[in-house]
C-alpha cells in the first residue's frame, strides 16, 4: 500500500522527509502523536518550505494540509472572543508551514529530527537551518531558531542525531565532518578532510561511535567523545562500502553496510567489538542507494537506484517485503521507518514522497500477551476445579 506524501498543487514537490514523534503529554488534543516533516522545493507561486502533516496510523495516510484539515469549533454568541480565537487559530495553524528561503539554494536537501520531537534540522545548499516545534493548545507552532554556526557550513550530505539527542553530526559534500554537543553546538570534532565526499553516516545506539562512508568506497569509525578516528573498515581493492547503519535492537550490536564487490551488491554485518566482518548476503540484485533500520532494530530497508525498495527481517536476514516501482525508475534518495508502525516513508528527486505500509507479519501487542496469559490462568483454574470436584465424587 502506497500513498502520495501530501503533495499539494500550489506548493513544491517534496525533496526530503522525516518522521516526528511527539510526547504523550505535549501538543494540542486531537492532534496525532505522529507527524511527518516535509521539505519542499520552490514553484512559480511558492517558495521553498518546511511543513508538518499529521499521520493517521489506522488509514496509513497523511493529512492533505499542514496539521489541520478541518476548522476549530467556537462557542456561539461570543462574537469578539470568537473572532480573536479564530484569528489566533488560523495564525498558529499557518505556522505549521514555514518559509526556508527565496533562492534555489534554499531548497531543503535533508531533514534530521531530534529524538525529543521538539527540533529539526534542515540542510540546504548553503548550510543548515534549525526549526523548533512549539506545542500549543490550538496547534503546533514551527519557528526558526538561531544557529549561525550551522547556517554557512555549505551543502551537507548527511545529518544525524544521537539516540539520546545529546550529539549532532553533519557530513559535507566537501568531506568535512563536524560533531557538536546539542543544543549548545559546542564543537567536539571539526575534521575538514574526513573524506573526499560523504556518502552516508550513522551514530551507534549508545552514542559512542560514528560511522561514515566516502565516495571512494572507504568507511571510517570515529570515537565521538574523544573526537578522533578509531579505525578504517578493511576492504579489498575491488570493494566499495557505500551505505551504513548501526543495529538498534539493544542486544548484540552490529554495523550493517552495503558493499559493492565487482558486479555484486551485498549487505554485510560487522561486529563492533572488533570491527571484523561477520558475514554478508545478497539481498538485492540492483545497486543500493539508501539504507535504513527500524527503531526496534528488527527490520532493514534497502532502497535501490531503480525506484524499488525491500524490507529485510534482521533475525533471519531474509527479505520480508518488496515494493516495486514505488518511485518508477528514480533512485530512492531516502527511506525512514515510522517510529511506531510497520510503515516507511521514502523519497526520490523525481517523484517526491511515498508512504508505504509494509506487508510483514503482525507482532504481538502487550495487551494481547496479557490476554493469553489470563486465558491460560483461567483455563488452568477451571481444569483444577473440575479435577478436584471429580476426585471428591470418587471418594
What's the average model confidence in pLDDT over 13-35? 79
Does pLDDT of 321 surpass 60? yes
In percent, the amount of the chain with pLDDT more than 90 equals 67
- Please tell me the predicted confidence (pLDDT) of residue 7: 47
- Please tell me the predicted confidence (pLDDT) of residue 238: 94
**Each residue's pLDDT tens digit, 121-140:** 999 999 999 999 988 766 78
Does pLDDT of 90 surpass 80? no
Question: How confident is the prediction for the chain on average, in pLDDT?
Answer: 86
- Please tell me the predicted confidence (pLDDT) of residue 73: 37
**Each residue's pLDDT tens digit, 145-196:** 989 999 999 999 999 999 999 999 999 999 999 999 999 999 999 999 999 9
**Each residue's pLDDT tens digit, 254-284:** 999 999 998 899 999 999 999 999 999 999 9
Cell of 39: 521539505
Does pLDDT of 289 surpass 60? yes
**Each residue's pLDDT tens digit, 354-372:** 999 999 887 655 555 666 6
What's the average model confidence in pLDDT over 314-338? 95
In this prediction, residue 75 has a pLDDT band, given cuts at 50, 70 and 90, of: very low
Amino acid at each position: 500500500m502506497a500513498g502520495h506524501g501530501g503533495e499539494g498543487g500550489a506548493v513544491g514537490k517534496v525533496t526530503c522527509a522525516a518522521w516526528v514523534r511527539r510526547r504523550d503529554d505535549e501538543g494540542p488534543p486531537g492532534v496525532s502523536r505522529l507527524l511527518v516533516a516535509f521539505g519542499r522545493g520552490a514553484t512559480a507561486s511558492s517558495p521553498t518550505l518546511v511543513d508538518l502533516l499529521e499521520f493517521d496510523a489506522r488509514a496509513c495516510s497523511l493529512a492533505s494540509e499542514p496539521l489541520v484539515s478541518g476548522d476549530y469549533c467556537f462557542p456561539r454568541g461570543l462574537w469578539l472572543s470568537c473572532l480573536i480565537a479564530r484569528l489566533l487559530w488560523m495564525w498558529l495553524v499557518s505556522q505549521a508551514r514555514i518559509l526556508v528561503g527565496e533562492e534555489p539554494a534554499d531548497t531543503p536537501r535533508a531533514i534530521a529530527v531530534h529524538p525529543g520531537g521538539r527540533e529539526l534540522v534542515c540542510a540546504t545548499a548553503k548550510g543548515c537551518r534549525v526549526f523548533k516545534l512549539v506545542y500549543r493548545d490550538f496547534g503546533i507552532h514551527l519557528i526558526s531558531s538561531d544557529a549561525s554556526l550551522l547556517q554557512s557550513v555549505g551543502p551537507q550530505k548527511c545529518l544525524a542525531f544521537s539516540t539520546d539527542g545529546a550529539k549532532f553530526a553533519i557530513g559535507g559534500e566537501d568531506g568535512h565532518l563536524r560533531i557538536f554537543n546539542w543544543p549548545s553546538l559546542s564543537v567536539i570534532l571539526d575534521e575538514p578532510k574526513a573524506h573526499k565526499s560523504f556518502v552516508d553516516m550513522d551514530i551507534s545506539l549508545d552514542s559512542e561511535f560514528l560511522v561514515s562512508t566516502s565516495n571512494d568506497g572507504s568507511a571510517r569509525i570515529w570515537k565521538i567523545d574523544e573526537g578522533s578516528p578509531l579505525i578504517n573498515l578493511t576492504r579489498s581493492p575491488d570493494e566499495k562500502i557505500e551505505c551504513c547503519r548501526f543495529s538498534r535492537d539493544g542486544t548484540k550490536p552490529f554495523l550493517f553496510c552495503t558493499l559493492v564487490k565487482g558486479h555484486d551488491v551485498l549487505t554485510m554485518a560487522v561486529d563492533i567489538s572488533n570491527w571484523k566482518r561477520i558475514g554478508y548476503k545478497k539481498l538485492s540484485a540492483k545497486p543500493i542507494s539508501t539504507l535504513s533500520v527500524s527503531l526496534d532494530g528488527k527490520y532493514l530497508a534497502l532502497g535501490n537506484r531503480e525506484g524499488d525498495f525491500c524490507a529485510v527481517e534482521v533475525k533471519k536476514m531474509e527479505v520480508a517485503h518488496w515494493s516495486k516501482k514505488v518511485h518508477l525508475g528514480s533512485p530512492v534518495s531516502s527511506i525512514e521507518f515510522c517510529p511506531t508502525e510497520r510503515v516507511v516513508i521514502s523519497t526520490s528527486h523525481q517523484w517526491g514522497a511515498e508512504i508505504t505500509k509494509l506487508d510483514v507479519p503482525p507482532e504481538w501487542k502487550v495487551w494481547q500477551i496479557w490476554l493469553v496469559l489470563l486465558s491460560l490462568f483461567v483455563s488452568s483454574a477451571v481444569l483444577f476445579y473440575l479435577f478436584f470436584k471429580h476426585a471428591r465424587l470418587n471418594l
